[in-house]
Amino acid sequence: MSQHDAVEVITAKRDGGTLSDSQIDWVVDAYTRGDVADEQMSALAMAILLNGMEREEISRWTAAMIASGERMDFSALSRPTADKHSTGGVGDKITLPLAPLVAACGVAVPQLSGRGLGHTGGTLDKLESIPGWRAALSNDEMMRQLEEVGAVICAAGTGLAPADKKLYALRDVTGTVEAIPLIASSIMSKKIAEGTGSLVLDVKVGTGAFMKDLDRARELAETMVALGKDAGVRTTALLTDMSTPLGFTAGNAIEVAESVEVLAGGGPADVVELTVALAREMLAGAGVDDVDPADKLADGSAMDVWKKMIRAQDGDPDAALPTARESHVVTAPATGVLTRLDALAVGMAAWRLGAGRAKLGDAVQDGAGVVWHARPGDEVTEGQPLMTLLTDEPERFDRALASLEGGYDVEPAGSAYEPSPLVIDRVS
């Protein structure tokens, strides 16, 4: 590998230049090995945030991140593979019903998921509320489960894109999280290294999402779709609304219960709509066009795969889920129409009740969270339960209630309410 030095790479990007392939390969490798210091990489990350990157640069940067670790290979499986990544939201339990649903349609789903941080929930935290279920699988266990069950949701091994883990932690403490080239390469390096044949991205936009602004969300989606294409992975993205939380629950065990309702053929309309929309995208990406996922929810086959998937990871799908020891009911302040329920306010309340963590490594409560009893557009009566807050520690209620202040509106009966579409756009 040709020799460069960190200052040369930093100043090239600081002055608005385009980094060469060899500069990118060198700096990512040297940083992963510890030969480029954190303060040097943070200066480069800030220069990237301020000056951006060309498509070729981002593509090469992503390839260098992938090259820092192992790549998985699912070509030996008897069926095609498809995966989904969500940029995170409130009440976003979609992965739970989606993975078994797509598997029931004949496509294997290797879903490497993460834990929650701040107001956005983590898929692994939700599943760990199921008694016995374990997130850590070896590559051999993962391959066997994909062949036998068709779906696996587990923690990513440390071998995938180790450069990303190191850079992600640095971005977090240097004000460079928002750099779209770095967000896109972080997500896509892990997903491409994971070896899936096709990928669907659920890019959330709205108050409860990482991207609050539609134009920036679209830029992120287009950047990630291009990265997938450059790496030979069929990639599409849906831009979806995260101004209102999904379903009726935000927490861990309560979101599992809601997901099981969807798998049983019921559940909230918005969760079903988004699950089926993403399933159709995943099936199309995998070249399967002769089956409608809605049928597999209706006939119980997705539920069968769910139970097999949970049992394969030592969980008991029939066990009672944990419940919180304490609850507090928030009542409607007036009679009328609920016109707004802010996703960020609900997410912050669930986090403060114990459903989420402030920093990696913090414990979460399985039973904590928020259940809302009405969605925007519903009529409510003064004094009726609007939300129920759940926690094991009643001293958490005050801060959760403070999060919800100004987080919902009840307008007089007959007020016009115009629902925003759940799926805003598709990027391919």
Question: Catalytic positions, please?
Answer: 85, 164, 171, 186, 190
Contacts of 95 (CB under 8 A, 6+ apart): 84, 86, 111, 113, 123, 153
Q: Which residues pair with 140 in a beta bridge?
A: none
Burial degree of 16 (CB within 10 A; 0-12, 13-18, 19+): exposed
> What is the C-alpha separation between 130 and 134, in angstroms, rounded?
9
8 A C-beta contact, residue 317 and residue 383: no
C-alpha span between 44 and 179 (Å, rounded): 11
- Give the integer Cα–Cα distance in Å for 370 and 415: 26
Q: Which residue type is seen at 266?
A: G
**Distances in whole angstroms, Cα of residue 132 to Cα of each of 17, 110, 318, 320, 321:** 52, 20, 11, 12, 11
- Structure-derived torsion over alpha carbons of residues 160, 164, 170, 176, reported in degrees to the nearest 10: -150
303 near 100, Cβ under 8 Å? yes
Quick check: 251 and 355 in contact, CB under 8 A? yes
Whether the CB-CB separation of 423 and 278 falls below 8 Å is answered with: no
Q: Whole-angstrom Cα distance, residue 298 to residue 109?
A: 20
Contact call for residues 30 and 38 (beta carbons, < 8 A): no
